[in-house]
């Protein structure tokens, strides 16, 4: 099993600074913006983006937290069932530009679930997607608007994002897990 | 250096978030005596998430799409049944409501046959209320579906106790060392029995207050059925310093002759009134599982007063039952 660090703390900081600028650039005014982090690691990422935007533009952008457990399309077939966390969106999302924030974009199914969850809460003007790592292998027609790092990966690999807020360290690693045949 | 298995578990966790299996072990919900404090905490935490859904304009999420659920009630009910019905619908499950009074039970069908019929119809969850203590345990042995006990005889009513725990926790933010005084017909109260288990497991101090004839049997046996609780027949003493006062319905339909000298004496001594409540802490909250016999076990003024959480209990009941349905029926376990 190999583990390679693909982003360290400084890389993550620079990448989030760049994404923050891109969000400001694309949305021109930050007035109607809301950042919504997807549990678990999307939430601290959204908070950091909001902090950056406040630093650059002097405007504080509201941050929400979204739990998608109840919207998953694989809920009845999952061997391990996720613990539901509280969804907390501080403002009405009607006519807002919502930027969904997640750590890793993979099949796109979580994003699909997140969009369903958001639309149950109101009618946003638009939904955009920001991810720290895009590892490919999409199963749905979903593409991110803001990407930290494109990391083409094999399905036998895991992308592990660790953040100070949840894991005590800022780090993105790629871990190759041997397939069953290789193990035996 | 971690083993491959450990790394795999960690990466799985990082991918999917923490899963419930590390905490939750129940296939059925029959009573709280076999719940761990961690499981009760998981229920309360999941209920918080469900509570948020109830505050939305569209109170519906797709979590239990395709699951079917039957409420099988051999006794009348307003709150519990409609609250399970709503909880299941909010999670997009299919619901069939069966009352013994309108089903083949009237033609003499026995419990196990009814359950097997429901199983043959492909029911995933059976919510069951029965006048005989232990009936849901029989059901759990006979069918593959998940059984939720919605009240069995005098024995247990775990979902009501969990919603009481949630309501208390919402207002007090803790259980440790809370003084909870339960007043009234404890002998016949399945709600009280389940609450005694739940509250003591979470570290609250439970005091029972009622005439000795309305105490359950087996309380003072050394290795008895019940956890350690206090009994104080004097209501003023029982309420002194209480954080929570829980009044119970005097089960008029279950009173045998001789348990109470007279209704008037019972009301004088045990009715929860503003005057008696003055002995409790200033921020005491009042619970009642409903339905209320107003001016028998609780005065109208208290039942509808500022300390009363009776209506919040009903609202919280929907959220708690959504949480329980999710915890039971999601996943492949």
Write the residue in A71, A161, A183 that is nearest to B61 by C-beta: A71
Span between the terminal Cα atoms of chain B, in Å: 32
Range with the lowest mean pLDDT among B81-85, B115-119, B145-149, B258-262?
B258-262
On the question of a common fold for B10-157+316-329 and B159-313, the answer reads: yes
Shortest CA distance from A92: residue in chain B: B56
Q: CA of B51 to nearest chain A CA: how many angstroms apart?
A: 9
| Mean pLDDT computed over A112-121 | 94
| Whole-number Cα distances in Å, B293 to A2, B2, B21, B249, B308 | 68, 62, 42, 6, 15
Residues of chain A with C-beta less than 8 angstroms from the C-beta of B45:
83
| Per-residue pLDDT, A78 | 65
Question: How confident is the model over B112-147, as pLDDT tens digits?
Answer: 999 999 999 999 999 999 999 999 999 999 999 999
CATH 3.40.50.1370 corresponds to the domain B159-313: yes
Q: How is chain B split into domains, by residue range?
A: 10-157+316-329, 159-313
Interchain CB distance below 8 Å, A81 and B52: no
Q: What is the mean pLDDT of residues A10-20?
A: 97
Mean pLDDT on A38-47: 95
What pLDDT, on a 0 to 100 scale, did the predictor assign at position B99?
Answer: 85
Q: Is residue A26 part of a domain?
A: yes
Q: Please report the pLDDT score of residue B10 as a whole number.
A: 44
Task: Choose between A74 and B310: higher pLDDT.
Answer: B310
Which residue range is the domain that position A103 belongs to? 9-73+85-153
Query: What average pLDDT is seen over chain B?
Result: 89
Whether ipTM exceeds 0.85: no
- From A91's Cα to the closest Cα of chain B, the distance in A is 12
B293 phi and psi, to 5 degrees? -90, 95
Residue A175 has its nearest CB partner, among B7, B53, B327, at B7
Cβ <8 Å between B16 and A80: yes
Q: Which chain B residues are Cβ-neighbours of A68 within 8 angstroms?
A: none
CATH of B10-157+316-329, one of 3.40.640.10, 2.70.210.12, 3.40.50.1370, 2.60.40.10: 3.40.50.1370
Other beta carbons within 10 angstroms of residue B153's beta carbon come to 16
Partners of B14 on chain A (C-beta within 8 Å) are 41, 160-162, 167
In a domain, A176, yes or no: no
Mean pLDDT of B194-209: 96
- The pTM for the full model equals 0.88
For residue A19, the domain's CATH number is: 3.40.50.2020
Distance from CA of A56 to the nearest CA of B (A): 31
> Residues B263-289: what's their mean pLDDT?
94
B262 Rama sector, left if φ>0, alpha if ψ -120 to 50, beta otherwise: beta
| Domain tally, chain A | 1
Q: And the tokens for A11?
A: 């890389």
Of all residues in chain B, what percent carry a pLDDT higher than 70? Answer: 91
Inside any domain, residue A4: no
Mutation site for B-interface testing, chosen from A44, A84, A175 by largest number of B Cβ within 10 Å: A84
Question: What is the rounded distance in angstroms from the CA atom of residue B177 to the CA atom of residue B182?
Answer: 15
């Amino acid at each position: 099993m190999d583990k390679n660090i693909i982003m360290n703390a400084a890389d993550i900081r620079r990448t989030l600074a760049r994404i923050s600028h891109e969000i400001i650039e694309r949305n021109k005014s930050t007035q109607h913006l809301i950042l919504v982090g997807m549990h678990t690691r999307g939430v601290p990422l959204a908070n950091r983006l909001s902090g950056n935007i406040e630093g650059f533009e002097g405007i504080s952008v509201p941050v929400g937290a979204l739990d998608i457990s109840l919207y998953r399309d694989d809920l009845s077939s999952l061997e391990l069932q996720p613990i539901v966390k509280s969804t907390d969106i501080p403002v009405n999302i009607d006519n807002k530009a919502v930027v969904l924030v997640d750590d890793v974009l993979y099949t796109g199914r979580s994003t699909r679930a997140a969009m369903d969850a958001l639309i149950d809460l109101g009618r946003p003007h638009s939904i955009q997607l920001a991810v720290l790592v895009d590892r490919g292998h999409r199963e749905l027609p979903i593409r991110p608007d803001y990407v930290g790092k494109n990391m083409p990966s094999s399905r036998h690999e895991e992308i592990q994002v660790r953040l100070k807020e949840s894991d005590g360290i800022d780090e993105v690693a790629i871990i190759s897990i041997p397939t069953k045949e290789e193990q035996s | 250096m971690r083993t491959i298995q450990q790394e795999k578990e960690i990466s799985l966790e990082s991918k999917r978030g923490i899963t419930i299996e590390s905490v939750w072990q129940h296939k059925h919900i029959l009573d709280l005596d076999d719940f761990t404090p961690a499981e009760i905490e998981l229920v309360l935490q999941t209920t918080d998430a469900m509570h948020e859904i109830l505050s939305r304009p569209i109170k519906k999420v797709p979590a239990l799409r395709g699951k079917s659920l039957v409420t099988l009630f051999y006794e009348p009910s307003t709150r519990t049944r409609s609250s399970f019905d709503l909880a299941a619908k909010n999670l997009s499950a299919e619901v069939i409501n069966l009352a013994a009074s309108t089903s083949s039970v009237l033609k003499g069908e026995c419990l196990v046959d009814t359950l097997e019929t429901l199983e043959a119809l492909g029911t995933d969850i059976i919510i069951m209320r029965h006048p005989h203590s232990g009936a849901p345990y029989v059901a759990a042995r006979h069918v593959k579906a998940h059984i939720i006990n919605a009240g069995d005889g005098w024995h247990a009513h775990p979902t009501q106790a969990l919603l009481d725990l949630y309501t208390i926790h919402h207002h007090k933010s803790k259980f440790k060392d809370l003084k909870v005084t339960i007043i009234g017909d404890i002998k016949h109260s399945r709600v009280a029995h389940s609450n005694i288990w739940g509250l003591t497991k979470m570290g609250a101090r439970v005091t029972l207050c009622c005439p000795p004839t309305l105490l359950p049997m087996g309380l003072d046996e050394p290795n008895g059925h019940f956890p350690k609780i206090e009994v104080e027949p004097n209501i003023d003493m029982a309420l002194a310093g209480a954080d929570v006062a829980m009044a119970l319905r005097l089960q008029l339909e279950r009173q045998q002759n001789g348990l109470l000298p007279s209704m008037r004496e019972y009301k004088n001594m045990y009715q929860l009134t503003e005057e008696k409540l003055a002995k409790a802490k200033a921020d005491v909250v009042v619970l009642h599982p409903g339905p209320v016999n107003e001016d028998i076990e609780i005065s109208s003024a208290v039942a509808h007063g500022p300390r009363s959480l009776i209506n919040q209990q009903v609202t919280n009941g929907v959220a708690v039952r959504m949480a329980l349905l999710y915890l039971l029926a999601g996943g492949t376990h």
